[in-house]
Amino acid sequence: MCGIVGFIGNNPKSKLEKIYAMMASTSHRGPDASSVKVYDGLIIGFNRLSINDLSEKGMQPFETDEYSVFANGEIYNHNELRNKFKLHAQLRSHSDIELIPHLYKKLGFEFLNEVNGAFAIALYVKQTGQLHLILDRLGKKPMYYYETAEGVYFASELKAFLLNFDMGLDLEAINWAFFQGYFPYPMTPVKGVKKIRPSEILTISKNLSISSANWYTIKPDYEMPKLSENEMEGKFLALLDDAVNIRMEADVEAGLYLSGGLDSTSIAMSCAHIGYQNIHTFTGKVQSKEYSTDNINASRFAKEHNFTHHVVEIDVNTYRNNIVETSTAFDEINFETANINFIEIVREAKKHVTIMLDGCGGDEVFFGYSHQRSLHRLPKAMRNILPGIPAIKNYLARNKPRMFSYYMSLTDVEKFFCLSQAFIPINEAMQMKHFNLEAGHANLQKITKSTPHSFKDKRDLNYLSYMDILGLDMLNYQELDRCSMYHSIEPRSPLSDYRIWEAFMGVEEKQKLAGGGKGLMRRLLARRLPGYILEAKKDGFSNPFYLWFLNNDEFRSEVLSLISKRKELLYEVLGAVYVNNLLSKWKDLNDVEWMDGVRLNQLVAFVIWYVIYFERKDLYKVNLSISDLNALL
């Protein structure tokens, strides 16, 4: 895991000062070493977080006479590939990234199908002057680019642009993100900067023309459903153990997020099964949820397996003291309620480890989310029919606007996932000044139509879930990347191994959900995990903002004071109607609901993000509480 910044275009040497500034803005991604290379028409800066081959031999770039490669991320199966392609004699190091130029020379872009990894690659072809920016299958590692009259800048994080260029807000994109909770590809909060999508090869030629291609097409295994569940169990556990094992291999110590839920505990048990001992595990204990089943189960499981377990306390004061840091770390605006938890856990984890394995991916593949289970209750044959019945449509539009949004979304995958999971009901979203449902929907359609796949039935939950994650946004991975890398820790997600996704994306939704959410996954793990894990209900890792805001007068006053100091900004971005309707609820505490806490947190996060990146860049990485920031404004 590392950080990359660069420029391709006219007179790259003249951009040296800018490149150093961009590197400084993202130095947390690679605190161990740095380098800058200048080529004909290209300059690249690199910050290294040492994972494999900690010596100088492992420092990038890795070059041949024809190619130069910088990469952020890891090739997990690099040992297998060394042997398969007999590369030992050609390599100077034990770095996984060194394989890339040699594999590219042998196979061209087909080498990507041989690789199991999480990566953002910058591959420079010296003879032609072409630069290829390449993302992994699921978009786990980020890459942004910014076209200017002189050339194209690129970077691993949006911070590199926010802190070093004069950026303008993309108000329509920001309104969409308030509604949806994230910025779908290629959107960002600022004009001109775009993010590369999963499995994309973005090619920038010497004449600065840009072309794009997808290199990966998911291939669900439709033979898997023909197996008995006993046979499935053997295949799943073998894949899981190998996915865990290749992610534990490194020249630095690895630990685990252990929430106590099914996904993270299955990974912890796999580590124990393989033979890893004395592992550091980490969990967050959230105020008002401290007696949750997950917290109890995490501690119990860690004790049973002699893991070194760390419990990080998270309460309203954690929020007050660290929301500025969290909103700064997540540079696409911190709309997700769990990010502050991850920031705190990673802060503690960095004292002990450099890699953290997590459970991301299990809910997507085995259907652990409520919106997946809700859609499953509607027969496939009815999923495109019901929205056309006028009587039902008119009744819901008048009386149940949130249900109406969900109901109308059944006509296509983009509407389903943007409306069924929205942070804001569509009737309230329409109050926002720059909200454009048609444009946002069209963008999602463009993404899904350009995402190759081989699913047999577009009404099936497997297809819908895959498009939700790969085609629309890999939000969980982006959050993990920002929160982890802000404290120089590399996240790794065994349940997001593409082999697991392909193996089980062909299994019928009915079989996956028999017995409830993730029913199949529970059965496949039944002989490995204890009953108290298998039988526990999904708890989640969000924060009780609603209760914190509602029950703590001093804290609520701090939050409302901060928002009031930038109310004109919020009026410009979101509109006075939306902002005042929300704030009036919190002023009078009338009819306040749980989601109103999430929406108030959105306003706080946006104000902090704007202040740090547009008004007071000198406060970047300054340790501030909400009260500190209030005093400075």
Task: Please check whether residue 115 lies inside any domain of the structure.
Answer: yes
Return the pLDDT at 371.
75
Return the pLDDT at 479.
79
Q: Is the peptide bond before 186 cis (omega within 30 degrees of 0)?
A: yes
Return the pLDDT at 425.
80
Q: Which of 580, 589, 588, 578 is nearest to 546 (CA)?
A: 589
Task: Please check whether residue 140 lies inside any domain of the structure.
Answer: yes
Return the pLDDT at 569.
98
Handedness of CA 530, 535, 537, 538 (dihedral sign): positive
Residues 54, 163 within the same domain? yes
* Residues in the chain where the model's pLDDT stays below 50: none
* The last residue of a domain, from among 187, 214, 241: 214
Residues 19, 101 within the same domain? yes
Residues 267, 344 within the same domain? yes
Return the pLDDT at 580.
96
Return the pLDDT at 590.
77
* The last residue of a domain, from among 407, 425, 458: 458
3-state helix/strand/coil string of 502-535: HHHCCCCHHHHHCCCCCHHHHHHCCCCCCHHHHC
Return the pLDDT at 419.
66
Which pairing describes strands 355-357 and 490-492: parallel, antiparallel, or unpaired? parallel
Domain count along the chain: 4
According to DSSP, the residues that pair with 355 across neighbouring strands are 254, 490
pTM for the model? 0.94
Task: Please check whether residue 95 lies inside any domain of the structure.
Answer: yes
Residue where the block lists tokens 């990234």: 97
CATH assignment of the domain containing 56:
3.60.20.10
* The last residue of a domain, from among 180, 214, 248: 214
- How far apart CA 603 and CA 333 sit, in angstroms, is 10
- How far apart CA 151 and CA 146 sit, in angstroms, is 9
Sheet holding 308-314, edge to edge: 308-314, 280-286, 254-257, 355-357, 490-492
pLDDT digits (tens, 9 = 90+) for 570-618: 999 999 999 999 999 998 887 888 889 989 999 999 999 999 999 999 9
pLDDT digits (tens, 9 = 90+) for 242-300: 999 999 999 999 999 999 999 999 999 999 999 998 999 999 988 765 557 788 899 99
Count CA within 13 A, CB hemisphere, residue 623.
2
Residues 68, 197 within the same domain? yes
- How far apart CA 579 and CA 81 sit, in angstroms, is 55
- In the three-class reduction of DSSP (H, G, I as helix; E, B as strand; rest coil), residue 83 is classed as helix
Residues 437, 504 within the same domain? no
- In the three-class reduction of DSSP (H, G, I as helix; E, B as strand; rest coil), residue 369 is classed as coil
- How far apart CA 137 and CA 493 sit, in angstroms, is 13
Return the pLDDT at 295.
83
Q: Which of 449, 465, 477 is nearest to 518 (CA)?
A: 465
**Cα angle 471-473-479, degrees, rounded to a multiple of 5:** 155
Return the pLDDT at 141.
94
Return the pLDDT at 395.
60
Residues 450, 525 within the same domain? no
Task: Please check whether residue 135 lies inside any domain of the structure.
Answer: yes
Return the pLDDT at 411.
59
Q: What is the dihedral of CA 308, 482, 630, 549, to 10 degrees?
A: -60
Return the pLDDT at 405.
55
Q: Strand ranges (DSSP E) for 369-461?
A: none
- How far apart CA 466 and CA 17 sit, in angstroms, is 42
- How far apart CA 302 and CA 258 sit, in angstroms, is 8
Residues 333, 482 within the same domain? yes
Which pairing describes strands 280-286 and 62-63: parallel, antiparallel, or unpaired? unpaired
Give the residue numbers spanning the domain of 417: 384-458
